[in-house]
Amino acid sequence: MSHKTVDLDGFKQVVGPDNVSTQESELESFRSAGMASRGSPVAIVKPTEMSELRDIIILARQTGANLVFSSSAPPRFRGDSIPSEDGVIVDLSGMDEITRLDRRNKVAYIEPGVTFSHLIEAADKVGLKVLMPLLPRAGKSVLACFLEREPITIPKYHWDMTDPLLCTEMVFGTGDLFRTGTAGSPGTIEQQIDAGLAHKNPLGPGTTDFLRIVQGSQGTLAGVTWATIKLEVKPSVHKIYFVPDIKLERLIEFTYRALRPRLGDEWLILNSRALATLIGETSAAVEELAGRQAPWTLVYGVSGYRYLPEERMALQEKDLGKIAQAAGVVPVSEVPGCPAKKMERILASPSPEPYYKTVPKGAFTDIFFLATLDEVSTLIAVMEKACEHHGYPTSELGAYIQPIQQGRTAHVEFALSYDPADEAESKKVAELADSASRALDAAGAFFSRPYGAWSDIAYRNCPDTVEALKKVKRVMDPDNVLNRGKLCYGEEVV
Amino acid sequence: MIRVISDEAYKELEAAVGPDNVSRLPVVLDSYAFQPFENHESMPWCPSPVAVALPSTTEEVSEVIKACNRHGLKHKAFSTGWGMWCGPTTDNVVQIDLRRMNQIVEIDEKNQFAIVEPYVCGAQLQAEAMKVGLNTHIIGAGPNTSPLASATSMYGVGHDGIYMSYSARNVLGLEWVQPTGEVLRLGSPGSDKGWFSGDGPGPSLRGTMRGYTGALGGMGVFTKVALKLFNWPGPPQVKSSGTVVDLTSEIPENIGLYMCFFPNADKLADAYYDIGEAEIGYNSLKVATPAFMMVLAPHLFKKLKDTKNLSRMLGKTMGHLFLMLLAGTSKEDLAHQERVLEAIVDEHDGFILDQKNIPPLKSNFMMNFIRATLPALVFRIGGSFSTALGRNDSLDSQVTWGEAIADIKRGYASKGQIIDDMGDNPYFVPYESNMFAHCEVVYPYDHRNPRYLEGSNNITMDFIIGAVELCMEAGFGTLPPARKILSPLTSNYNYWQKKFSEAFDPDQGSDKGLYTDETEFDFSEIAPERVAKLERLVKERTWTELGPPE
């Protein structure tokens, strides 16, 4: 598809002329993201309601346009919203209302453009808290974040991979509307709410779970127009602890023992560089703070709620103290440059601007995957070896380990900082990211969210899965109009 | 109709599993046709299969399915069985009996999951898990049922849901013999990375495998699943003697069991909401007081219900009750949880009967509760029972559903078409620290009683109307006539299920009766005003090409 074949008039008829843009200044942010580059956005179309999105998809089926969904503000890092061939960006960020916030059932109804700042403020007013990923970008869409299975920092609330996403409204690549979970029940949403439903059950309807299918699909199967998000009650007392240690294995042992009985709230492990990047506000501060941290630091929170909060917290502290002793680690209330209160604020907020990972050197590349906690040390060794091989200082390698699914699995994330103005360094990091990803895959890392080049790495391991996903694509996007070229579908699905 | 399998097809089944593990003897086949619970036609018999094959490996399952497909036979999996869901719904079905696949393949203690085959039952897995300080979600149907079946193919509700969730949400890696006979492993095992994740790379195929319910045998056969296990703070083996109603167990000092009574359903719901926010509770179940009598002492129960004051006291005054099992990390933690529970119950005008003050009851109930042994005793009073399943969602929605169905039940009980159980008799379960909840209303009946059979279509219709009025996707929408009515009101979900069925099962080899089939509801005995009411609701709430009604 070239620029000339895009039916801009058709899109203008759907959303109005003011909501179609071909301005280079707007298109620019869709040309590159992290390792993804050479994107070819030809126009941005901005629907303001579900029916417009549906008509956009129907028009794309008629004209063969390649639609790429976006709902977050730039900068972009993953590449899922960078068209891999000429594409029309469907910008949903203007749909940014929190349409309902239900305190009793701890649930928010949000549109795609709702950001973390927006939702945190609204939830806080009614005594609820948002289940946060680690320092999301300020302009990051909450809905997009969880559609991409971004991990949250409180493992005990992560019961299943769909959490904290609950019910959704989506438009398939066929142009058909569908509602998932209890939102798909009979009646209008208002009638359902009047009948007592709070749209907290993400399963179904029926025997298929479209939320689960669409989650992780990078916009290749459907566009989501609103969702319900699980919130949790804000603690009445809350305290953060740090457990610095030279040995990661001890912290992992501590984690296993503590998470099994669901002790603690926030729970994450950072190496010195990742911790310094989190708490340092300038490049110099990051360098200085990294040198003052223990090689590894576990961060955890304990809370008390409405009933006997101090007693609950004291019990948790006592239990965790015993477990820490058994694991041979020592919790403290402060690490260099970061008292507990500062970390508490960090864990409850989006990133300041500029995005915190760009602070050390201006740019970064992430490598992330899933593994069990007992495999993490091995995979870190693989990553460090790759760094050494490519001449990248391991002291500059950020490592973040986030237990998910109540400790059964971990999201492991490496960050490689570099100066984007330094071509040689940029090239070196790109090569390192590629070879390290392959080495990690060979060592057992599961690239469950295969952005960009990882799709080749991930899908070559599972040809049966690829065949099954092609069947799904044929059902939900038979004309291949959604984010063409992403994931594993190839051309033959059309 | 006489159903037979060709010699050629039979020989291929023999080749797949060995001659000793396949049968077409009528006496054997008919034994599969009786399932103790429910039937899609309100009769005690399912259609008999044309043959039964007992594979012992995934490869054998695959070969059986391929043989069926070559000969135009359908296949239907059976693991531990319980109701008509595991039996054929039509002719020419080969029953794949998975009882030889009965291994706990692995318990990964650190990462809290177990890999199990289809015929592993809940009690078996629980006993092994407890040895390493873990526990498994057991569904309300009891510990004799297959955790794999409930996680992949059925429903999955159990009264440990407050701590151990719903079966569908406990699935990690999965091995699935598709209706074509091809083997697909979902998630990390599909990439040979271990069994710790069922999602990805990219879109999660778990969503094609099941939704609110499983495909009930309509999408191939599941041969291995990694299931989440959960912390067990009790001893590796609970010292017990006796079975079920005369069971006694030694109670660990960090486990308590409490009956919490409230003056009305609203107060009970308020308390449940607060308990969820306090994050206490290991098992919990809202149940009617008379239900205890009914399952434990059915003969006494029949006498009690004829008493005026006593039955009123049990059914009304003590009608709003939930059981709560607390399990602390220590005795001190249990004491804290008890104080929280007391504060919440007190705040909502309830009272607690702490079973530690009734040692014989606590000694009997604890393991029966943890092992979900008692609900199946509901068979005792009438020989069979059914339930009105709503759609799991907020606690409030489930309270409303329970009350609406209780009203419907009373009418049928007064006509003698179902057994009067003196209350709403819900099986009401909160999930995931009360994130959402489940309520099905149980009604026992005698399936030999012609009056029940006469009323069964009416009661089903009233539940459908009740569900649609309350904006619920009824749980019994797996039945073909209900599916035909409900799907157009519910995102047209069956249209999409059929699409997936065609994509994954091009020869339509799996028995689709309870997955995608739609049949006409028999309205002949339904009162015209109820038919008119349903028609009005359907007209109001049917999805059009443009989407839902606005």
Residues A344-381 have pLDDT tens digits of: 999 999 999 999 999 999 999 999 999 999 999 999 99
Assign A493 a pLDDT band (cuts: 50, 70, 90). Answer: very low
Whether the Cβ atoms of residue B400 and residue A194 lie closer than 8 Å to each other: no
State the pLDDT at residue B319.
86
H/E stretch holding B530: helix B528-541
Contacts of B534 (CB under 8 A, 6+ apart): B461, B464, B465, B468, B485
Q: Are B207 and A211 a contacting pair at CB < 8 A?
A: yes
State residue B549's pLDDT score.
85
Distance of CA A147 to the CA centre of its chain: 8
Residue of B113, B204, B493 with shortest CB distance to A205: B493
- The verdict on residue B446 lying in a domain is no
CA distance A284 to chain B (A): 38
Nearest residue of chain B to residue A230 (CA atoms): B435
Q: Is the pLDDT of residue A220 over 80?
A: yes
Residue B4 is predicted with a pLDDT of 87
The DSSP line for B214-255 is B-TTSS-EEEEEEEE-EE--S-SS--EES-GGG-EEPPPTTE
Angle A230-A235-A239 from CA coordinates, rounded to 5°: 120
Residues of chain A contacting B183 with CB distance shorter than 8 Å = 464
Nearest CA-CA partner of B207 in A283, A334, A170:
A170
Contacting B residues, span 92-131, partner chain A, CB-CB under 8 Å: 108, 110-113
Cα–Cα distance, B327 to B334 (Å, whole number): 6
pLDDT grade for B39, boundaries at 50, 70 and 90 = low
Domain that holds residue B84: 7-97
Cβ atoms B417, B445 nearer than 8 A:
yes
Percent of chain A that is helix, strand, coil (3-state, to 5): 40, 25, 40
> Backbone phi, then psi, for B263, in 5-degree steps?
-70, -25
Residues B87 and B114 in one domain: no
Is B206 within 8 Å of chain A by CB?
yes
CA dist A250 and A298 (Å) reads 10
Flag whether residue B539 sits within 8 Å of chain A, measured between CB atoms: no
- Nearest chain B residue to A51 by CA distance is B546
DSSP A466: H
* pLDDT confidence bin for B427, thresholds 50/70/90: very high
Q: Say whether both B154 and B226 belong to one domain.
A: yes
B177 located within any domain:
yes
Whether residue B54 lies inside any domain: the answer is yes
Only one residue has tokens 């303001």, namely: A48
Judge whether A262 is closer than 8 Å to chain B, CB to CB: yes
Residues B92 and B175 in one domain: no
Can you tell me the mean pLDDT for B421-436? 90
Q: Is B523 on the interface with A (CB under 8 A)?
A: no
* B230: nearest CA partner in chain A: A260
User: Touching check for B544 and chain A: CB below 8 Å?
Assistant: no
Continuous segment of H or E residues that includes residue A213: helix A210-214
B53 vs B538: CA distance, rounded Å: 43
Residue in this structure with the two tokens 């015993």, named with its chain if needed: A322
Task: Quote the CA–CA distance of A403 and A252 in Å, as a whole number.
Answer: 10
- At A76 the pLDDT is 86
What rounded mean pLDDT belongs to chain A? 95
Would the CB atoms of A215 and B110 count as touching at under 8 Å? no
CA pair distance A371, A411, nearest whole angstrom: 7
Is the pLDDT at A4 greater than 90? The verdict is no
How many whole angstroms separate alpha carbon A430 and alpha carbon B273? 50
Considering only CA atoms, give the Rg of chain A: 23
**Percent of chain B surpassing pLDDT 90:** 73
Q: What are the Cα distances from residue A79, in Å, to A107, A133, A211, A268, A278?
A: 30, 19, 22, 26, 23
> Does B42 score more than 70 pLDDT?
no
B110 with B227, same domain?
A: yes
Cβ atoms within 10 Å, residue A254: 25
Distance CA B480, CA B541 (A): 19
- In this structure, the answer to whether residues B118 and B162 fall within a common structural domain is yes
End residue of a domain, out of B231, B256, B273:
B231
Cβ neighbours of B538 (radius 10 Å): 17
pLDDT category at B305 given cuts 50, 70, 90 is: confident
Mean pLDDT confidence for B167-183? 98
Q: What is the pTM of this model?
A: 0.97
Sequence letter at residue B489: L
Same domain, yes or no, for B204 and B110?
yes
Measure the CA–CA gap between A445 and A458, rounded to whole angstroms.
10
Same domain, B127 and B223: yes
Residues in chain A: 494
Compute the distance between CA of residue A461 and CA of residue A449 in angstroms, rounded to an integer: 14
Contact B474, B391 (CB under 8 A): yes
Instruction: Using the CB atoms, write b or e for B472-487: b if 16+ within 10 Å.
Output: bbbbbbbbbbbbbbbb
pLDDT reading at A226 higher than 70: yes
- What tokens were used for B283? 């098992």
B491 near A CB under 8 A: yes
A177 touches chain B (CB under 8 A): yes
Q: Are residues B87 and B197 in the same domain?
A: no
CATH number for the domain including B182? 3.30.465.10
Q: Give the up-direction half-sphere exposure of residue A179: CA atoms within 13 A in the CB hemisphere.
A: 28
CB count within 10 Å of CB B19 equals 11
The answer to whether B541 contacts chain A (CB < 8 Å) is yes
φ and ψ of B370, to 5 deg: -65, -35
User: Among B178, B205, B231, which residue terminates a domain?
Assistant: B231
* CA separation for the pair A217, A114 (Å, rounded): 20
Which residues of chain B does A249 touch, with a Cβ-Cβ cutoff of 8 Å? none
| CB-based contact B473 A195, cutoff 8 Å | no
In order of their start, the domains of chain A are 3-91 (3.30.43.10), 98-233 (3.30.465.10), 237-442 (3.40.462.10)
Q: To probe the interface with A, which of B471, B537, B545 has the most A CB atoms within 10 Å? A: B471
- Residues B464-516: tens digit of each pLDDT: 999 999 999 877 778 899 999 999 999 999 999 999 999 999 999 999 999 99
Locate tokens 């579908």: which residue? A489
The verdict on A472 touching B (C-beta cutoff 8 Å) is: yes
Mean pLDDT, all residues of chain B:
93
B498's tokens: 């059929």
Tell which A residues from 296 to 335 touch B, by Cβ distance under 8 Å: 305-308, 311-312, 315, 319
Chain A closest CA to B293's CA: distance in Å? 31
Q: Is residue B161 part of a domain?
A: yes
Put simply, the answer to whether B205 touches A465 (Cβ < 8 Å) is: yes
Mutate to test the interface with B, among A185, A249, A263, A306 (most CBs of B within 10 A): A185
Which of B213, B491, B504 lies at the smallest CB-CB distance from A207?
B213
- Does B440 map to a domain? no
The whole-angstrom separation of Cα A489 and Cα A478 is 11
pLDDT by residue (tens digit) across A9-59? 999 999 999 999 999 999 988 887 776 667 789 999 999 999 999 999 999
B115 and B198 fall within a common domain: yes
pLDDT computed for residue A3 by the predictor: 42
Counting residues of chain A whose pLDDT is more than 70, the rounded percentage is 98
- Tokens 């057991």 belong to which residue? B138
Portion of chain A with pLDDT greater than 90, in percent:
92
Tokens, residue A337:
């440059």
Same domain flag for B125 and B63: no
How many residues belong to chain B? 550
> Does the CB of A236 have a partner CB in chain B at under 8 Å?
no
Contact B152, B222 (CB under 8 A): yes
The residue among B231, B266, B281 that closes a domain is B231
> CB contact, 8 Å: B535 with chain A?
no
Residue closest to A402 by CA, chosen among A139, A202, A132: A132
Q: pLDDT tens for residues B212-254?
A: 999 999 999 999 999 999 999 999 999 999 988 889 999 999 9
Each residue's pLDDT tens digit, B50-106:
999 999 999 999 999 999 999 999 999 999 988 888 999 999 999 999 999 999 999
Number of Cβ within a 10 Å radius of residue A307: 23
Q: The tokens of B47 are what?
A: 């259609």
Residue B173 covered by a domain: yes
ipTM value: 0.96
Q: Does B153 touch chain A (CB under 8 A)?
A: no
Residue B153 falls within a domain, yes or no? yes
A189 to chain B: nearest residue by CA? B550
- pLDDT (tens digit per residue) in A52-78: 999 999 999 999 999 999 999 988 888
pLDDT in tens, B341-354: 999 999 999 999 99
Are B131 and B221 in the same domain?
yes
pLDDT at B287 over 80: yes
Higher local confidence (pLDDT), A155 or B457: A155
**Residue A97, Ramachandran bin (φ over 0: left; ψ between -120 and 50: alpha; else beta):** beta
Q: Which amino acid is at A326?
A: A
Q: How many domains does chain B have?
A: 2
Q: Which residues of B297-316 are buried (b: 16+ CB within 10 A; e: fewer)?
A: bbeebeebbeeeeebeebbe
Distance from the Cα of B482 to chain A's closest Cα (Å) equals: 12
> Which residues have C-beta within 8 Å of that of residue A471, sequence separation ≥ 6?
B500, B503, B504
B221 and B121 in one domain?
yes
Residue A228: its chain B contacts at CB < 8 A? none
Express each pLDDT in A393-446 by its tens digit.
999 999 999 999 999 999 999 999 999 999 999 999 999 999 999 999 999 999
Give me the pLDDT at residue B290, please: 84
What CATH number has the domain bearing residue B90? 3.30.43.10
Judge whether B31 lies within some domain: yes
Residue B300 contacts A, CB cutoff 8 Å:
no
Pairing of strands A41-45, A87-91: parallel
